[in-house]
């Protein structure tokens, strides 16, 4: 099968398309024929060696949607099942390949009405948005959520998830995305580059839950605009030492900051099952901005960091 691997850590140029044997599923694994994967910033961190994954060479990619080809003896699925999964590419080989072995506790059934590209697009970012807003922040109907960067992979699902929860949503994004984010359920959309960003967030209403992917930039603002007893879910690649001296306001607000890592989600499959229902009903619709072939995954990993888009970059083998 074809698989996109890095043999050394480094930039996108270390990725090569290799011809390798199909993996054999272990007892608790599914062998999935990959119909779609998605591209995430974390793929670039693993590739660069920022977090130690398994031995090199290593297959890149965290998200997958596809069809179960065969199962290990104890795996809780059947051949032919449509599934989506995330959390790969770290402890387990990644998803940018024609087949991938997936531990069954990282996978859930993908409803027939949700296409594979949408399933892959909504896996890692969906679990992250859920972990942040539902599990960490306990977001409830009638509360207000602030989602920084609403057009991003995580952001565009978080906006919809918060709205589906019955919360009022304030989000930030470049002006070109404002109309689409309003369509996705945001009540207030503000240009993150606006001089009066803080005043406009305050005017929309003090947020009870904040999803922050750039804590270095925004933790001070979060502390000032937050409602009393609010929660902040921090997901970005942040310089924590530089950030935390700046938060005396947090104490006065009884603010709680949760450091969320999708890869630490206690039960990925359970969250994916909930997301599958939301995707099936159309309450949350992950957006596919564009697709790439396996041969172009290096371009995709450059683009996810350097380009602006709404939604997700998806890989179709
Ligand atoms: N902890 C976890 O488990 C976890 C999980 C997923 C992601 N993450 C991290 O969260 C971050 C976002 O991930 P993603 O997949 O959503 O990435 P993404 O799709 O590349 O989205 C990044 C978003 O950030 C926005 N942005 C850029 N500059 C900004 C600014 N000054 N203020 C506010 N927003 C700004 C971008 O807007 P433009 O389009 O205008 O540039 C875009 O909407 C990454 O650092 C990623 O590693 C963490």
Q: How far is CA 158 from the centre of its chain?
A: 9
Q: Are residues 171 and 231 in the same domain?
A: yes
145 occurs within a structural domain:
yes
pLDDT at 95 over 70: yes
Which CATH number do you get for residue 43? 3.90.180.10
Distance between CA atoms of residues 305 and 42, nearest Å: 10
Kindly state the DSSP code that residue 263 receives in the 8-state scheme.
G
273 occurs within a structural domain:
no
What is the average pLDDT score of the chain?
Answer: 95
Beta strand 29-38 pairing with 312-315: antiparallel
pLDDT of amino acid 237: 65
pLDDT confidence tier of residue 186, bands split at 50, 70 and 90 = very high
Q: Which of 219, 248, 263 is the last residue of a domain?
A: 263
Q: Are residues 170 and 232 in the same domain?
A: yes
Q: Are residues 14 and 117 in the same domain?
A: yes
pLDDT confidence tier of residue 239, bands split at 50, 70 and 90 = confident
Ligand 1 atom closest to 263 (CA): 3
Q: Are residues 195 and 111 in the same domain?
A: no
Mean pLDDT of 125-147: 98
Minimal CA–CA distance to 123: which of 24, 31, 42? Answer: 42
Distance between CA atoms of residues 269 and 73, nearest Å: 19
Residue 206 neighbours by CB under 8 Å, 6+ apart: 144, 225, 226, 227, 230
Residue 86 neighbours by CB under 8 Å, 6+ apart: 62, 63, 64, 106, 123, 124, 127, 262, 268, 272
165 occurs within a structural domain:
yes
54 occurs within a structural domain:
yes
> How far away, in angstroms, is 19 Cα from ligand 1 center?
33
Q: Are residues 148 and 36 in the same domain?
A: no
> How far away, in angstroms, is 51 Cα from ligand 1 center?
18
Residue whose CA lies nearest to ligand 1 atom number 39: 308
Number of domains in the chain: 2
pLDDT of amino acid 108: 98
**Beta bridge mates, 258:** 233
> How far away, in angstroms, is 22 Cα from ligand 1 center?
33
For 191-227, the pLDDT digits (tens) are 999 999 999 999 999 999 999 999 989 998 999 999 9
pLDDT of amino acid 248: 66
For 143-162, the pLDDT digits (tens) are 999 999 999 999 999 999 99
pLDDT at 166 over 90: yes
Distance between CA atoms of residues 205 and 207, nearest Å: 6
53 occurs within a structural domain:
yes
pLDDT confidence tier of residue 164, bands split at 50, 70 and 90 = very high
Ligand 1 atom closest to 42 (CA): 47
For 16-49, the pLDDT digits (tens) are 999 999 999 999 999 999 999 999 999 999 999 9
Residue whose CA lies nearest to ligand 1 atom number 41: 308
Please report, in angstroms and rounded to a whole number, the separation of the first and last CA atoms in the chain: 10
277 occurs within a structural domain:
no
Find the domain containing 143 and state its range: 125-263
> How far away, in angstroms, is 152 Cα from ligand 1 center?
5
Q: Are residues 38 and 9 in the same domain?
A: yes
Alpha helices in the chain (DSSP H): 41-48, 116-121, 124-129, 153-165, 178-183, 197-204, 215-225, 240-243, 248-252, 268-281, 297-306
Do 109 and 276 contact (CB within 8 A), yes or no?
yes
Residue whose CA lies nearest to ligand 1 atom number 4: 235
pLDDT confidence tier of residue 258, bands split at 50, 70 and 90 = very high
Q: Are residues 257 and 129 in the same domain?
A: yes
- Counting residues of the chain whose pLDDT is more than 70, the rounded percentage is 96
Ligand 1 binding pocket (C-beta < 6 A) is 40-42, 125, 128, 148-149, 151-155, 172, 174, 192, 213-214, 217, 235-237, 260-262, 304, 308
51 occurs within a structural domain:
yes
Which CATH number do you get for residue 185? 3.40.50.720
pLDDT of amino acid 50: 84
For 270-304, the pLDDT digits (tens) are 999 999 999 999 999 999 999 999 999 999 999 99
> How far away, in angstroms, is 308 Cα from ligand 1 center?
10
Ligand 1 atom closest to 125 (CA): 6
Beta strand 231-234 pairing with 256-259: parallel
274 occurs within a structural domain:
no
Residue whose CA lies nearest to ligand 1 atom number 27: 149
Q: Are residues 85 and 68 in the same domain?
A: yes
> How far away, in angstroms, is 78 Cα from ligand 1 center?
36
Strand locations in 148-208 (E): 168-172, 188-190
What SS3 state is found at 315? Answer: strand
Residue whose CA lies nearest to ligand 1 atom number 2: 261
Residue 189 has φ and ψ, to the nearest 5°, of -125, 130
Residue 69 neighbours by CB under 8 Å, 6+ apart: 31, 32, 33, 79, 99
Distance between CA atoms of residues 211 and 226, nearest Å: 12
């Amino acid at each position: 099968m074809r698989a996109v691997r890095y043999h050394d850590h480094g930039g996108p140029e270390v990725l090569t398309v290799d011809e390798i044997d199909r993996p054999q599923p272990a007892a608790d694994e599914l062998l999935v024929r990959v119909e779609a994967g998605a591209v995430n910033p974390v793929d670039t961190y693993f590739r660069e060696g920022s977090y130690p994954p398994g031995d090199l060479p290593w297959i890149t990619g965290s998200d997958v949607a596809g069809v179960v080809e065969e199962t290990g003896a104890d795996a809780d699925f059947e051949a032919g099942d449509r599934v989506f999964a995330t959390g790969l590419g770290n402890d387990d080989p990644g998803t940018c390949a024609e087949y991938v072995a997936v531990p069954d506790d990282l996978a859930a059934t993908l409803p027939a009405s949700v296409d594979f590209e949408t399933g892959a697009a909504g896996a890692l970012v969906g679990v992250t948005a859920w972990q942040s807003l539902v599990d960490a922040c306990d977001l409830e109907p009638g509360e207000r959520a602030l989602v920084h960067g609403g057009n991003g992979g995580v952001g565009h699902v978080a906006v919809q998830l918060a709205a589906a929860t019955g919360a009022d949503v304030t989000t930030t994004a470049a002006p070109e995305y404002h109309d689409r984010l309003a369509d996705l359920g945001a009540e207030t959309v503000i240009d993150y580059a606006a001089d009066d960003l803080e005043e406009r967030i305050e005017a929309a209403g003090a947020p009870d839950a904040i999803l922050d992917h750039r804590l270095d930039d925004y933790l001070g603002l979060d502390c000032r605009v937050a409602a009393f007893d609010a929660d902040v879910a921090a997901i970005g690649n942040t310089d924590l030492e530089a950030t935390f001296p700046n938060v005396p306001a947090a104490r006065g607000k009884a603010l709680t900051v949760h450091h969320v890592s999708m890869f630490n989600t206690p039960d990925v499959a359970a969250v994916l099952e909930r997301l599958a229902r939301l995707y099936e009903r159309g309450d949350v619709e992950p957006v596919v901005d564009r697709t790439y072939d396996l041969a172009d995954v290096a371009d995709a990993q450059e683009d996810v960091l350097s380009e602006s888009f709404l939604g997700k970059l998806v890989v179709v083998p």
